[in-house]
Structure 1
């Protein structure tokens, strides 16, 4: 035994130093915080009272927006399944075209006399051989087009799978060798960071999307100086962007120029090779192939990219994009030239949607394909011989559609065929349109036997965050039901022993879908103006429109409308349409939902007050594009739709806001019309609109001359003007603009704040409940393999047991006997630190120490539990320190279970499983259930993610060196255990949970003592959360920063504090509106979450399920006490007062016997 008396002086060699009252978290030593806070609350309350008075005065019911026809509002009324018809896979020729290019069919030269023979393929540069590739890795090239944001999303998500990237950055602009370059810094940064070889695509594609063969023909047939200058410029561009070479894609060139084409390409290759750069060439499948002398080029071109798709392109009749026979025929033909490893297969992963009566098909992404199939109520689609390309037919608004597409399964089949031919790699055409399963296929080892079991991951089609598009037009609604899809993979053995994988689509996924409507006739155009009205520009624009006899639509800003109501009245009076463009012109995607609703409604109220009409048209500020891409861009549309609006976007942007010049604005309109755009976006406010006013007459004249009809927006949609702008009913008398706007903000703000909070809280509760339950069940099914660490043979390190005691005479004896009765075989020492007890605690310990050599007593003046623990950590001898409260009783196995996880040297602390040992009163039984389904279940779940927030003082173990590295026991909070746990996290130590380390503790048995204890816990927790707020949303410790700590803030502080208010509001709402089912829904969600966690916890802990009924009275009896404790803690923290530990009276009622 050893007795030490430190009552004369405190020994504090540990790192955290002596206790300092001034360092106590939230303490306001100067006493200035509370008076200031009271003044602030008084002023706020006074202003709120005044606001309520004004609100009551201005209170009136919101207007009811006219509903749109069902065809506009409902997607299912548009899309229908059609009876599947037999669609020919194109018109097969009497002889496959690829045979005409095969070396085994020399007689075919009569059909294509311009095909060069091997003897004719001598380059003027000699026989420079392409260096043998030393790359053993399969080439994985991605084609990227910068105009599609989905392409960058795909690139960013799957960059590690790609070896090469080809963005569409270079263009031959004229026959004089002009070269245009456009780059994206974010792409350059990404490829550099990921080690991807950059090979920009050099094309002869014009601004309107049409191929310009004359640009290439003028270059290949031009003088040598022109070619040399072109090559020099190309090298400068490639070096400037850090490229590894270039991929040339020149199409529609006259085949008679084959010799000139070969000479120029070989000259380019020679120049690039001299700079350590590569030349790749896109080779089209079809008659255009005749322009390329593949034998002559094979000695100079590093790689050929065989474009093995577009068997039937946009301008062809409906048919497969790359049928099986077509693909294999061209593949076998291409690898006859050069070496197989020189070929990269360009594989498509997209679809073509042919609408009856349209000249060209629409190119659609995989998610668009799936969405159209699923929302047409299609049960499956054809994926059979001979094409092995999936396809289906459907009807959209009465128009039949035929859709062929390529998916991950066609990609798999084609990839297998290519690998069997020993090609050099594959190219994905293009990033952003692909079936996500393509990336799973690429991640499979080439040598892996692609059994159906290995391919099972392709059977689930997950929607993720992808956005699908249906229809055409600038009026957008959102179908936001998202459901994963499923397809079954089957094998089909062909006659020649080829093995083909087929997909049977059993359930089409439902994506977040943008439904486009209002395309109108080909000659229909609408003109719109944003951001007005403005007294300088809007009258001039109205004068022009009136002179030209043209109707337009004005999306107006509420703040401007309030300033210039006469302009608003003139706009309506002259027959123009108005729409909502928010009140203050914020980016709706970046503001809160409450703020967004206020923006909508304030603007609507103002329109009604000024014009006597409402409107159902909306255009979001900053995001008026026809094809929003990011989910944040969809938020304004979804909010508008929820409120009854339809969003009108644009697809012709003259960019007048940038003041590019009248000529440039007109050219932008021309280009937009050539590309099929139909709604022009201009601005009548927001800056100097001189150019807009000057350009508007010229724009109108251009549209009329080309035969277009300028229509109001309603005509584009097929809706009469009275339905877009219905008059306000007589019983809705207009009020003062200021009062109505302010009153509506108030009523909407109060209501929407509560419901928004309920939505968020309910969602988070469901997510957290399911997450914790899943993690806990997973642990249990694994047999707690990750929780109870099997120690190595003979691992029984010496252990110190530390107990801080203050006036514990009723319980300390039982606690020590339980500890000393341990079955742990290693050496232990038990140190009791008596913190100035005024009862018989020290004597009882000293008497026991007389007969027990393992027991030691250390006495000190009363400095608090934290200081007692500090003294104890300084005094203990061993590296592993077990800590428990003086009222807690261990089982014989507890110490051994707590020690086991320290076999891992990175473990800094271990939490045991605390259980209530005195469940005699209802309050104690409530706590027993809380320990089971709250504390212990959370720690079990958090252990797997290494995000335990508190190792409880009742039953814990620490690595002494880790504690000192973390700063030791801190004295500036009331929750030293939580403080130490978070400090250990910061130092990078693991925190474990040992469910076998059971400790029976004494819980408060009355409401008064329970409230006292929980106030201390709440205040200490709040201190620690504030002190360690830098851990919140910490990316280095993602589980702690994004899961457990936010849960503590939201569920343990915020939600508990607001719990009674929420319950009261729900109860009041139920009394006022008993038929409101949404109120029952919220209440049931909260209750079911509690019941689920209680049931899961009882099953895992093998507790009787009969006790989960306590969840019901806990919500109405127990939870209010917790709320009181948290609110009191928040008030005390706000006041900045010093809060003491507070001693609970012991009852020695724990029934566990050691």
Structure 2
């Protein structure tokens, strides 16, 4: 259907941007998970069944060099007689490292600090202080990983990341390496020696403990031991290189290498803060989702009580006035006949039915014209869009109450009579009916059925109580003609003409209410492609309408009430949360991979259980069967993701300034066929 919203271009840049954003987020979370929740067990490995390293390695000195590459022999060295090398593993630690540095400085001693790259990236100022005070820096891998159990690629990654971080933090390139979990050279096993040979291929000297090299962790207990050691008379402890008589093991690095290292440090910081922010975001999203469900249930119960006590509707005899029904139709040959039959079978006798054929290219017009009932008037016009068709019908309307429906909608016999009852209140300008999915036999149909009952109808009950209804659905809605003319009829400014019209009525001071007993059946999209096109148009049009009526947020009276309640709700729960959902789901996968998977699963099961309880209540209110609930957990993995991506694309489309076509759904008539056989299941 062509209209003033004919598509200028179909944007694709937003998908590239979304993909890049999710890729960057995934990379940040993966980096954070690798850095702080290393893969594999962090417990000390069991080496009891490991074959010992070669005798030359075990009986040599604690400083090992593979001579001539991994395929050649080994050279071992030890500190000179009387020399002691002091070494510390791990860190830098923000508490213990400064204490140790102060202690060494007070005694004029030096040591070798084997640092983990991840900690050095978190505290680069401490790595710089270690170098500036004349101490030596060695590598303890990036995460303190067990290189004896790591693959060759993992080993290279651990060592190269550490090199880069230390280049950025301290401007050095360490040549010394201590294998995490390895102690003295005499106790090296074959797997540890294999890891040492791989590292030696990159030019590292392997440093173990023993024979003049003391090994400490950066703890309070180690501080006390080192303090006692430094109080003893004799030569001051030295670095490993000084004690063994090797050249300095911390050569400087080029400027570009330091920049690269600084970039890695920043990347780790960004990844960490992103993960922290995602933790808070996930908590907030969960709280908002739970709050929304609680609000929906609370106001739904309140709505039910008010209806039962007659507070929502005026007391007295039922309203029985003539109405005009407008049916805009474009290529609706599959369902227009059933729609007209349902209207003519209405228990409300005083009805004018206007079918506006908006330039259909199929048999919609002749099928509508073939209806012999005098109450039906068929008007044909060139294709101009749904809003224009509704305005044409409005000009032909004879009565003060106008019902607008879609060309595939099937009304219950009592629907019109029940739909118009709230107009007994002179302040009511529009009434929303209860739309139900007719073709709900397949999985996709069941998902949409649950969405209509749980989402749309529970929302409308809440909006009714709060007097901030944002949408009277195009499938079944009634309007006071005076109210329609007062806002200039149906606007063509947006693709969601029903939402735009409803918002305009709310801002004009009219009450918009929900009549759950007025039921109409509609045909939902039968494929994911059709569903995407329909919801894309709905969402994009809603965003247009929200932007058009944004001033309601600062207005007074009924307009301000609608803006601060209705627009805020739509902005938070139907725009912001879906925009964040892909990243939140990505973080949930991160939690399963790197954090407590059992806890993540329990949270998911609890969240699903809460949703099921809300769904049970919503189905009970609408007098629907509970059998479709088995599909609800599956809905979270497919249907929900599709709806989130609809919002993402709609927002990007709006930001890029693109316009959309009508995206009309292809009708098959399956809903009306189902209804002929009886109530849908």
TM-score range, shorter chain: 0.5 to 0.7
Q: CA 1:1129–1:41 in 2, change beyond 3 Å: closer, same or farther?
A: closer
- 2:596 aligned with 1:1041, yes or no? no
Q: Which residue of 2 aligns with 1:765?
A: 289
Residue 301 of structure 2 corresponds to: 777
Q: How many Å separate the matches in 2 of 1:1034 and 1:602?
A: 54
C-alpha spacing 1:884/1:981, structure 2 compared with 1 (3 Å)? same
Tell me what 1:1016 maps to.
537
Does the aligned pair in 2 maintain the 1:779–1:785 contact within 8 Å?
no
Q: Is 2:391 the counterpart of 1:870?
A: yes
Say which of 620, 640, 661 aligns to 1:1099: 620
User: 3-state SS of the aligned residue for 1:949?
Assistant: coil
Q: Deviations over 1:484-514 (max 9, x none)?
A: xxxxxxxxxxxxxxxxxxxxxxxxxxxxxxx
Shift of 1:1007: 2.3
CA separation of 1:787 and 1:1004: change in aligned 2, threshold 3 A: farther
Q: How does 1:713-752 map to 2 (within 5 A)?
A: 742-743=266-267, 745-752=269-276
| 1:810 maps to which of 334, 349, 370 | 334
CA contact (8 A) 1:830 1:854 kept: yes
Q: Kindly indicate whether residue 341 of structure 2 is the aligned counterpart of residue 822 of structure 1.
A: no
Asked whether 1:897 is paired with 2:421, we answer: no
Q: 1:1152 to 1:739 in 2, by over 3 A?
A: closer
Shift of 1:1085: 4.8
User: Per the alignment, in what secondary structure is the counterpart of residue 866 of structure 1?
Assistant: helix
Mapping for residues 94-133 of structure 1, pairs under 5 Å: none
Q: Which has the higher strand share?
A: 1
C-alpha displacement at 1:1001, in angstroms? 1.1
TM-score, normalised via structure 1 length: 0.37
**Gapped runs of 5+ residues in structure 2?**
38-100, 107-118, 131-219, 225-238, 240-249, 251-257
Residue among 1043, 1067, 1083 paired with 2:589: 1067
Query: Measured at CA, do residues 829 and 739 of structure 1 come closer, stay the same or move farther in structure 2, by a change above 3 Å?
Result: closer
Post-superposition Cα deviations, 1:117-138, rounded to whole Å, max 9, x if no partner, equal xxxxxxxxxxxxxxxxxxxxxx
Cα deviation, residue 771, structure 1: 0.8
Counterparts in 2 of 1:1067 and 1:868: CA distance versus 1, 3 Å? same
Name 1:844's counterpart in structure 2. 367
- Larger relative contact order, structure 1 or 2 (CA cutoff 8 Å, min sep 6): 2
Does the residue aligned with 2:675 lie in a helix, a strand or coil? coil
Query: May I ask how many residue pairs the two structures share in their alignment?
Result: 475
Q: Which residue does the alignment assign to 2:375?
A: 854
Q: Per the alignment, in what secondary structure is the counterpart of residue 1152 of structure 1?
A: helix
The answer to whether 1:989 aligns with 2:513 is: no
**Inter-partner Cα distance in structure 2 for 1:787 and 1:861:** 46
| 1:885-912 residue CA offsets vs partner (Å, 9 max, x unmatched) | 1111111211111111112222111100
Q: CA deviation at 1:831?
A: 0.9
Displacement of 1:788 after TM fit? 6.0
Residues 608-663 of structure 1, C-alpha deviations (whole Å, 9 max, x = no match): 56778xxxxxxxxxxxxxxxxxxxxxxxxxxxxxxxxxxxxxxxxxxxxxxxxxxx
Deviation, structure 1 residue 835: 0.5
1:1123 alignment partner, SS class: helix
Q: Does 1:1137 align with 2:658?
A: yes
User: What is the distance in 2 between the residues matched to 1:823 and 1:990?
Assistant: 26
CA distance in 2 between counterparts of 1:880 and 1:972 reads 24
Match for residue 496 of structure 2?
A: 975
* Long gaps (5+) in structure 1: 1-18, 63-568, 575-600, 613-721
CA contact (8 A) 2:122 2:265 kept: no
Q: Helix, strand or coil: the match of 2:637?
A: helix
Asked whether the 8 Å contact 2:314–2:425 carries over to 1, the reply is: no
Q: Secondary structure at the match of 1:911?
A: strand
Q: What does 1:596-995 correspond to in 2, within 5 Å? A: 605=123, 608=126, 742-743=266-267, 745-785=269-309, 789-790=313-314, 792-793=316-317, 795-824=319-348, 827-848=350-371, 851-995=372-516
1:1027 is aligned, of 535, 548, 560, to 548
- Secondary structure of 1:1116's aligned partner: coil
Shift in CA distance, 787/861, structure 1 to aligned 2, threshold 3 Å:
farther
CA contact (8 A) 1:792 1:903 kept: no
8 Å Cα contact 1:912-1:998 kept in structure 2: yes
Secondary structure of the corresponding residue to residue 398 of structure 2? coil
Instruction: Give the Cα separation in 2 of the matches to 1:755 and 1:1060.
Output: 14
> 1:1008 and 1:606 mapped to 2: Cα distance?
52
CA deviations over 1:140-166 (Å, ceiling 9, x no partner): xxxxxxxxxxxxxxxxxxxxxxxxxxx
**Structure-to-structure mapping, 1:262-661, within 5 angstroms:** 605=123, 608=126
| 3-state SS of paired residue (1:822) | coil
8 Å contact from structure 1 (residues 779, 786) kept in 2: no
The normalised TM-score by structure 2 is: 0.61
Task: Tell me the distance in 2 between the aligned counterparts of 1:787 and 1:830.
Answer: 32
In structure 2, the partner of 1:354 is none
**What SS does the corresponding residue of 2:404 show, helix, strand or coil?**
strand
Measure the CA separation in 1 of the matches of 2:125 and 2:345: 81
Q: CA deviation at 1:1068?
A: 4.2
Residues in 1 aligned to 2:405 and 2:128: alpha-carbon distance in whole angstroms: 72
Give the secondary structure class of the aligned counterpart of 1:857. strand
Relative to 1, partners in 2 of residues 1:923 and 1:997: Cα closer, same or farther, differing over 3 Å?
same
Q: Deviations over 1:1080-1114 (max 9, x none)?
A: 35424542342132111012112222322221111
Higher helix share: 2
TM-superposed CA distance for 1:998, in Å, is 0.6
